[in-house]
Amino acid sequence: MRVELQTEGGVAFFPGLNKPIVLNSSDLSNLQSTQLQKLLDSTRFFELPAASRSVPKGAADMRRYTITVEDGRRRRTVRLVDPIEDPHLQALIEFLHEQHGAS
């Protein structure tokens, strides 16, 4: 399974320095891979709408997240905007950031 997280916007956002976080479950430990799968299952990721909500006018500093998951033949891209109200989605984003920082 491959997961990509692209973050845009927010205060101090520099597009040229912004690289996506890409994780392959085959590169993770068994524990990390299992945790990633549980997080995706808890969000019901492949059932989520493509976009959570539109960005309100004047909200240029809000962070926007694009998460793409490829799992075998399934591929889904979901776009989210801060604040993320679903604690499961928030936990997924935090996990992706933590794994990226650990690599």
List the pLDDT tens digit at each of the 103 positions of the chain. Answer: 999 999 887 665 555 557 899 999 999 999 999 999 999 999 999 999 998 666 556 566 788 899 999 999 999 999 998 888 899 999 999 999 998 776 5
pTM for the structure as a whole: 0.86
Q: How many CA atoms lie within 13 A of 101 on its CB side?
A: 6
Residue ranges of the alpha helices (H) in the chain? 30-43, 87-102
Bridging pattern class, strands 2-8 and 74-81: unpaired
